[in-house]
Chains A and B, each alone.
Chain A
Amino acid sequence: MSTSDPERNRERDSEATFGDYGGQYVPEALMPALQELEEAYERYVLENEDGFMDEFRERMRDFGGRPTPLQRADRLSERYDREIYLKREDLVHGGAHKLNNALGQVLLAKYMGKERIIAETGAGQHGTATAMAAAHLDMPCEIYMGRTDVNRQRPNVYRMRMNGAEVNPVEAGSGTLKEAINETMRDWATTVENTHYVIGSVVGPHPFPKLVRDFQAVIGREAREQIREKAGRLPDSVVACAGGGSNTMGTFHEFVPDCADPRFANESSGRSPRDDDVALYAVEAGGSSLEIDAEEGLAPNSATLSTGTDGVLHGAMTKLLQSEEGQIMESHSVSAGLDYAGVGPELSYLAETGRVTPVSVDDEAALNGFHRLSRLEGIIPALESSHALGYVEEAHDELGDLVVVNVSGRGDKDLETVLEETEKRDLEAAPEVEVFDRD
């Protein structure tokens, strides 16, 4: 009874997947919308039809504040005795890299003639970015956010509402990003004819992982140019935190071909293969432990690339935190934006092939990273980005002489969590918590 055309499927596969990862595992009702999005992606993003990309870049400059600086971190450089550069995505409007993607997708939805925007959010940064982009482009917007995340990221809930978005708390499960994505998919399955789902990371069904990556690739494109200007060469390593992996892929994409492995050669870039790779480190949330609590079906971490297994979640084949039977685990991280049991399929592929090295640091190392950057450099980083900084502290000897670290966002949203979590621990770089009680 099988009448499928293997030729056609093979052709489709190479577009929809990264090695074995990716694809489109969604309810049938959503498939036409994905096809429509795929067409819009090709026309507007890849071919700049109607000047879409020109308008996007102009808006990212004037509304979004791009380009962001690549700053030499003087005291970190001194501390580790090597050159540390920070890509300052915390300076993007809204306080995180998330706007690069949100503005791109809301604008695309507008070009596609959609009338309504929905999105999910974990840390609230993607929700905030989407709410801002929707207000900027005059589109109605609804955001789904897990109950736990609503409680631990209140400043962002306020900001979304200020920008006119409706915030819908999701009570199911552990009330984090996974549940918010489920609920947004359900909304989309009902409203797909006039609504665009602005997915917040390089996850989900094709073409989202590519679309989001392309909007985020500006991070690495700028960083690559800036480091050559400032240091006269490419870095030895690039470090970024990975939740779903959008700032990771955005930072890495332009550096992926900077290696000797012909599988990653990029003909259009005109780059010749190098003997020495630009090493790419994806830093995941190690939470309190990398061990899995099989009894409770709980991973006390969100280190999907490091410890996950292959499976299908939220529309894509990728690495997951799951039980042997295939039930998805509740993940954990002190940082809401990394607290997710899945990861982008392209990142799974790059990790599987060895081009990207997945690593992790625990909650405590991230909190220390947060305090260290705040004290030493006068930059308060997001708890997500603090994981990347925590890794630089732990592994600086392996990173080479010239290191780029992506500071994916700023930490204003995290101050309450950081105070609470710091008080529980005896952290070396932290200020006395009583200081805050005096005011």
Chain B
Amino acid sequence: MTDDVPSATGEYDSDIEAAIRENHPALITYLTAGDPSLEDTKAYVEALDRGGADLIELGLPFSEPIAEGPTIQAAINRALEAGTTPEGFFELVDELETEAPLLVMTYYNMILQYGDEPDVRPFVERAAEAGLSGIIVPDLPAEEADPLREACDDHGLDLVFIVAPTTEGERLETIMSQVSGFAYVQARLGTTGARADVSTATHESLARLAEYDVPKAVGFGVSEGDHAAEIIEADADGVIVGSALIDIVASSDDPAADLEAKAEELKRGAIRGAETVTVDTEDTPEPEQP
């Protein structure tokens, strides 16, 4: 990682921050690696990259995904049944050549168990070697993150933290002081999963974060271009979409083509939202859509 450089020079703390700031408004996509196979994932990731994804999260499947809703849980089960292993995952990342930087999203136990002893370092070393730019761990709150953050700092990886609707006051400050790459703003309470609307919790969370100069990306429930527009309009720097893409993986006859088209739709929505912001600078948060 480079040292802090003012953004006016066009340089940023990390690949991830650059990917979001330079492609503002950014599209961040999630897929579970190995669903339904690692070869398929490779094709799908490349399709998302072509379709305009600015940052790509890849899930390394864990058998107890407590932060996931039914869609991603099912994807994880498919990936595990297909025999997806951490080593297979890293080999996929070794092979991928995308414009968008890649992040791994996985649970803490998967990180700890990589290598001979329970220790976070071997995983981080391998992640850096494979060219990953960052890590998101849904069951690792800031309180428990020191060992992983130190290892990530040593290898130039970002450790992305989630800010929940319940995160306020002192906790919010602690987390925001530790965020690297971007703040993952959880749009609503509960688990991941595509929804029909954008929650008012999103607007409230973004308002709480307004004073922090860190890229903010909103996920959990985003599924359509219109949601993306609304979220960017509410002052987010990026939108994160997972379950809606996994629905395509699970049901489409031509997932690669449909994923590419979906990425385009989401990116267009985000850009529409950004245009509205520039036109109407004193925008107030819109009420929740019906």
Q: Which residues of A contact B (CB under 8 A)?
A: 1-4, 6, 9, 12, 16, 23-33, 35, 172-173, 178, 182, 185-186, 189-193, 309-315, 320, 322, 324-328
Contact = CB atoms under 8 A, between A and B. Distances in A.
Given A2-B149, A2-B153, A326-B110, A27 B164 contact: yes
Contacts of B66: 26-27, 182, 185-186, 189, 314
B178 interface: yes
B277 interface: no
Contacts of B191: 186, 189-190
Contacts of A324: 113
B175 A28 contact: yes
13 contacts: A4-B145, A6-B146, A27-B66, A27-B139, A31-B141, A31-B143, A311-B109, A313-B109, A325-B85, A325-B110, A325-B114, A327-B80, A328-B64
B58 to A, nearest CB: 16
Contact of B171 (A26, A32, A190, A309): A32
A1 B166 CA distance: 24
A351 to B, nearest CB: 16
B210 interface: no
Given A28-B167, A189-B190, A311 B113 contact: yes
A327 B189 CA distance: 26
B95 interface: no
A309 B118 CA distance: 9
Interface in B10-47: 13
Nearest to A31: B141
A28 B163 contact: yes
B112 interface: yes
A96 B167 CA distance: 38
Given A28-B163, A186-B191, A311-B112, A326 B168 contact: no
Contact of A29 (B65, B110, B165): B165
Given A2-B146, A2-B149, A327-B80, A32 B166 contact: yes
A181 to B, nearest CB: 8
A16, A28, A186 pick with most chain B CB within 10 angstroms: A28
A33 B113 contact: no
A25 B114 contact: no
Contacts of B175: 28
Interface of B: 13, 62-67, 69, 73, 80, 85-86, 107-110, 112-114, 118, 138-146, 149-150, 153, 161-168, 171, 175, 177-178, 180, 186, 189-191
B166 A193 contact: yes
A325 B86 contact: yes
A31 B165 CA distance: 11
Cβ-closest 9 pairs across A and B: A326-B113, A190-B190, A29-B164, A327-B63, A312-B109, A28-B164, A185-B66, A27-B67, A28-B162
A25 B108 CA distance: 8
Nearest to B113: A326
B199 to A, nearest CB: 12
Contacts of A33: 166
Contacts of A28: 141-142, 161-164, 166-167, 175, 186
Nearest to B191: A186
Nearest to A311: B109
Contacts of B142: 4, 28
Nearest to A191: B189
A313 B64 contact: yes
B84 to A, nearest CB: 10
Contacts of B118: 309-311
A136 B220 CA distance: 38
Nearest to A9: B146
Given A12-B143, A25-B139, A190 B167 contact: no
B243 to A, nearest CB: 14
Contacts of B67: 27, 189
A24 B144 contact: yes
A326 B109 contact: yes
A32 B139 contact: no
Contacts of A193: 166, 189
B107, B113, B186 pick with most chain A CB within 10 angstroms: B113
